[in-house]
Amino acid sequence: MTLPEPFRLLAYLAGVMAFVGVNAAYLVWVERKGAARFQRRPGPTEVGPAGLLQPLADAAKLLSKQLLVPPDADRTLFRVAPVLVMAPALMCLATIPFGKTLGARSLDLGLVMVFAFGSINVMAIMLGGWASRNKYAIISAARIVSQNVAYEIPMMLVVITLIMVTGTTNLQEIVEDQAGGFWKWNVFNLAANPLMPVTFVIFFICMLAETNRAPFDMAEAESELVAGAFTEYAGMGFGVFFMAEYANILVGCSLGAILFLGGWQSPFGILSGVGWFLLKLYALVFTVVWVRWTFPRTQFYGLLNLSWKILIPVSLGTLVLTCIMLKIF
Amino acid sequence: MLLEKLQSAVGAGVILPDGHETFVLNLGPQHPATHGVLRVKLTMDGEYILRAEPVPGYIHRMQEKMGENRSWSKYLPNTSRIDYLSAMTYTHAYVLVVERAAGIEVPPRAEYLRVITSELNRISSHLVWFGAFLLDLGGFTPLLYAFDDREKILDLLESVTGSRLTYCYYRFGGLCNDVDAEFLTGAREFVAYMRPRLAMYRQLVTDNIILRKRLEGIGRIDAELCRKYGATGPVIRGAGVANDVRRVEPYSVYPLLDFKIPVYSECDCMARYLVRMDEMEQSLRIVEQAIAQLPEGPVMGKVPRVVKVPAGDYYHAVEAARGRFAIRIVSDGKEIPYRIKLRTPSFSNLSLFEEASRGMMLPDALALMGSLDLVIPDIDR
């Protein structure tokens, strides 16, 4: 069934927004429940069965709060920043193929577009921190920029390696190339590059750093910078930042699932479909939550050292190795 | 020159010789890392600390002055509210100094029970530090595991003392009541339970690569700095000096017990971390031995109805969880003290923060502060 073009786009617009909205809300619940299980406590239980209505209660609380703008703040930027964090994540999801025919747009430059919009996120958090006129927020903004510059590079090197293997930047085509069982997935594509699993690990680490998740959550480092760039945000201003964090995790994990784990392809070659994509996506999201509640935060220069001294050389190495392998075979 | 300029700058930044402008960052009194109402005024060059000026006093309760307007025994509950995390050792110091001054004999069973409860209290205090320190480093989960273990100690101590945090169990000449068999079995079970837990913490937390990278070589405090500011406890033992009041000025029944003083000479945050982790193990050993040696008999010696301390100047120190805690009392022979002076370990340990944190990055300085294990009411008292 295909709808006429304008209706199809509207349907996808609503669909993507609903997907992000529901996920952002319920990933908070998953995070809280997950954290609770790691810490041997029950987590939210009061609102609804197993605390399932907790996100709605949280949203109602945040929405009913006054939107305070600090008197010294740059009012326009201060208000625009949360929107600027949220919007690119929605844009990125427009290119993500959820299933064989389920995807808003199959762009030839899909992968490039995801990264183009993904980078806006950093700028938006920086703007939010800068506009707050708060010392903690500005330190956090400065950290975010240097952290993201450092991690964008290995991320890009990894992606270039992958583009060389797949020969396309169309996400739908990348997924279709990986059809026919889990040994065809890019993460096990050892013929093109024997270090492919390492590449996947680098991608995952960079994804954690790009989305400012623990152990790389330098930006909000609550024991150092109170709440970092979000310190001055009250009510839903903070809420949108919070949701955007999960929306960005969603984008990052979708990309991981598509590039390395075969997207909506089934691991056995039969019964491929959207279910597999969601399964892989949430497995990665769970890992992100798991990592957060297991490790302490890294030190800021340790984080930069990891990027410049380990991840960039290794990802450059895999890139060169892939070149050689592709040339020989 | 630079320092003078910085000292004169109040609230505003100054231009450094290299063209950078400094700014003043107000850390606290409401900040997640200060664990209480400590305020530190930081003069920063970017993320580097040029000068850290601690501003205590937000929870000053005049504990010393309070001693001058109540009788000797009425001051007893105050001592457990100075460092609320190791209340037992603090009351221990006070009863010891009054017993020394008034010449009161304490039955051996009472002394053994004091040691058992003090050491359990030391473990519970170190567990709070362990959780809070990891929280400072961004690891939230260990806190809840540590509190789970601490809960068992609090339940045990509650069963004999009636309170969970600010114990007032010791009396001049003994204890307010004897323990029952249930407490002793509970304590034995706790020792058996806690050993594998400590092994688990070693595996999961101490050996974590991120934690080691954050603590090793960070926050150097050497023996010289400790001497300069009078830092004691795990801070000086992490600087390679085996200074523990339980051994250097033995009191109570500690000379009869076999335990080690953990010492690490690396002088960094990791050394102080490891000292405290090892101390928990040693405290378990002390509890185990003290229970095995526990003599029968009364828990209260012969004490006059109204304690009178002969005129004079007396002093007694104990090893509290954070270091040397000492009480000096001056009596003029009346029913109320003439003067009470408290020497609290957190105050001395905080004093060196300014010098030790110079030139450090903010997150490292907070790791350093966490490794000092500050309790703010103990600083302000």
Least Cα separation, residue B144 to chain A (angstroms): 6
Chain B residues whose beta carbon lies within 8 Å of the beta carbon of residue A142: 46
Whether the upstream peptide bond of residue A70 has omega within 30° of 0, thus cis, is no
ipTM of the complex model: 0.80
Q: Do B211 and A296 touch (CB under 8 A)?
A: yes
Measured CA to CA, the distance from residue B373 to residue B381 in angstroms comes to 16
Q: Do B137 and A136 touch (CB under 8 A)?
A: no
Q: Any idea which residue has 């995801």 for tokens? A: A114
Q: Do B361 and A136 touch (CB under 8 A)?
A: no
CB pairs under 8 A between A and B: 74
Tell me which amino acid residue A144 is.
I
In chain B, CATH 1.10.645.10 sits at: 63-219+290-349+364-380
For A260, the domain range is 68-328
Q: Do A295 and B134 touch (CB under 8 A)?
A: no
Residue B229 backbone dihedrals phi, psi, to 5 degrees: -105, 0
Kindly state whether residue A52 falls inside one of the protein's structural domains: no
**Nearest Cα to Cα of residue B112 among B191, B162, B174, B190:** B174
Measured CA to CA, the distance from residue A244 to residue A85 in angstroms comes to 6
Contacts of B8 (CB under 8 A, 6+ apart): none
Q: Do B138 and A215 touch (CB under 8 A)?
A: yes
Q: Helix (H, G, I), strand (E, B), or coil: what is residue B14?
A: coil
Fold of B63-219+290-349+364-380: Cytochrome-c3 Hydrogenase; chain B (1.10.645)
Please compute Rg for chain B using Cα positions: 22
A229-268 tens-digit pLDDT: 788 888 888 888 888 888 888 888 888 888 888 778 777 7
User: Between residues 77 and 116 of chain A, which touch chain B (CB distance below 8 Å)?
Assistant: none
pLDDT of residue B2: 56
Nearest by CB to residue B213, choosing from A139, A224, A299, is A299
The DSSP output letter for B262 is: -
Kindly state whether residue A138 falls inside one of the protein's structural domains: yes
* Nearest-Cα residue of chain B relative to residue A36: B141
Q: Which residues pair with B39 in a beta bridge?
A: B55
Q: Does B245 touch chain A (CB under 8 A)?
A: no
Instruction: Please work out, in degrees rounded to the nearest 5, the angle formed at the alpha carbon of residue B107 by the alpha carbons of B101 and B108.
Output: 115
Q: Could you tell me if residue B60 is left (phi over 0), alpha (psi between -120 and 50 degrees) or otherwise beta? A: beta
Contacts of A261 (CB under 8 A, 6+ apart): A185, A186, A187, A280, A284
Q: Does B273 touch chain A (CB under 8 A)?
A: no
Residue B317 backbone dihedrals phi, psi, to 5 degrees: -120, 150
Instruction: Judge whether A247 and A23 are in contact, CB under 8 Å.
Output: yes
Residue B98 backbone dihedrals phi, psi, to 5 degrees: -70, -40
Measured CA to CA, the distance from residue A91 to residue B335 in angstroms comes to 79
pLDDT of residue B13: 60
**Tokens describing residue B302:** 């012969």
**Choice between A312 and A225, residue whose per-residue pLDDT is larger:** A312
Chain A residues whose beta carbon lies within 8 Å of the beta carbon of residue B217: none
**Nearest Cα to Cα of residue A215 among B368, B35, B363:** B363
* 3-state SS track over chain A: CCCCHHHHHHHHHHHHHHHHHHHHHHHHHHHHHHHHHHCCCCCCCCCCHHHCCHHHHHHHHHHCCCCCCCCCCCHHHHHHHHHHHHHHHHHHHCCCCCCCCCCCCCCCCHHHHHHHHHCHHHHHHHHHHHHHCCHHHHHHHHHHHHHHHHHHHHHHHHHHHHHHHHCCCCHHHHHHHCCCCHHHCHHHCCCCCCCHHHHHHHHHHHHHHHCCCCCCCCCCCHHHHCCHHHCCCCHHHHHHHHHHHHHHHHHHHHHHHHHHCCCCCCCCCCCCCHHHHHHHHHHHHHHHHHHHCCCCCCCHHHHHHHHHHHHHHHHHHHHHHHHHHHHHC
Q: Does A215 touch chain B (CB under 8 A)?
A: yes
Chain A residues whose beta carbon lies within 8 Å of the beta carbon of residue B145: 39-40
Residues of chain B with pLDDT under 70: 1-14
* Nearest-Cα residue of chain A relative to residue B24: A135
Average pLDDT of every residue of chain A: 83
* 3-state SS track over A196-264: HHHHHHHHHHHHHHHCCCCCCCCCCCHHHHCCHHHCCCCHHHHHHHHHHHHHHHHHHHHHHHHHHCCCC
Instruction: Judge whether A85 and A233 are in contact, CB under 8 Å.
Output: no
Chain B residues whose beta carbon lies within 8 Å of the beta carbon of residue A217: 138
In B294-372, alpha helices (H): 345-351, 353-356, 362-372
Residue range A18-29: mean pLDDT, rounded: 85
Chain A residues whose beta carbon lies within 8 Å of the beta carbon of residue B208: 295-296
Q: Does B32 touch chain A (CB under 8 A)?
A: yes
**Tokens describing residue A250:** 């969603």
Residue B314 backbone dihedrals phi, psi, to 5 degrees: -130, 155
Kindly state whether residue A128 falls inside one of the protein's structural domains: yes
Nearest by CB to residue A302, choosing from B148, B208, B213, is B213
Q: Do A223 and B208 touch (CB under 8 A)?
A: no
Distances (CA, A) of B48 to B51, B211, B354: 9, 21, 13
A40-93 tens-digit pLDDT: 888 888 887 888 888 888 888 888 888 888 888 788 888 888 888 888 888 888
User: Between residues 7 and 26 of chain A, which touch chain B (CB distance below 8 Å)?
Assistant: none
Measured CA to CA, the distance from residue A252 to residue A27 in angstroms comes to 14
Residue A276 backbone dihedrals phi, psi, to 5 degrees: -65, -40
Q: Does B200 touch chain A (CB under 8 A)?
A: no
Kindly state whether residue A46 falls inside one of the protein's structural domains: no
Measured CA to CA, the distance from residue A140 to residue A130 in angstroms comes to 9
Least Cα separation, residue A197 to chain B (angstroms): 21
pLDDT of residue A321: 84
Least Cα separation, residue B278 to chain A (angstroms): 21
Q: Do B33 and A223 touch (CB under 8 A)?
A: yes
β-pairing verdict for B23-27 and B39-45:
antiparallel
Residue range A310-323: mean pLDDT, rounded: 86
Nearest by CB to residue B141, choosing from A39, A139, A226, is A39
Query: Total structural domains in chain A?
Result: 1
Q: Which residues pair with B45 in a beta bridge?
A: B48
pLDDT of residue B195: 92
Q: Helix (H, G, I), strand (E, B), or coil: what is residue B41?
A: strand
Provide the terminal-to-terminal Cα distance of chain B, rounded to the nearest Å. 35
pLDDT of residue B10: 47
Instruction: Judge whether A211 and A241 are in contact, CB under 8 Å.
Output: no
Chain A residues whose beta carbon lies within 8 Å of the beta carbon of residue B23: 135
Q: Does A290 touch chain B (CB under 8 A)?
A: no
Nearest by CB to residue A224, choosing from B33, B139, B211, is B33
Measured CA to CA, the distance from residue B221 to residue B362 in angstroms comes to 17
Residue range A150-178: mean pLDDT, rounded: 84
A171-206 tens-digit pLDDT: 888 887 777 777 777 777 777 677 788 888 888 888
Measured CA to CA, the distance from residue A107 to residue A173 in angstroms comes to 10
Tell which of A31, A222, A299, A310 to mutate to test the B interface (max B CBs under 10 Å): A299
Whether the upstream peptide bond of residue A97 has omega within 30° of 0, thus cis, is no
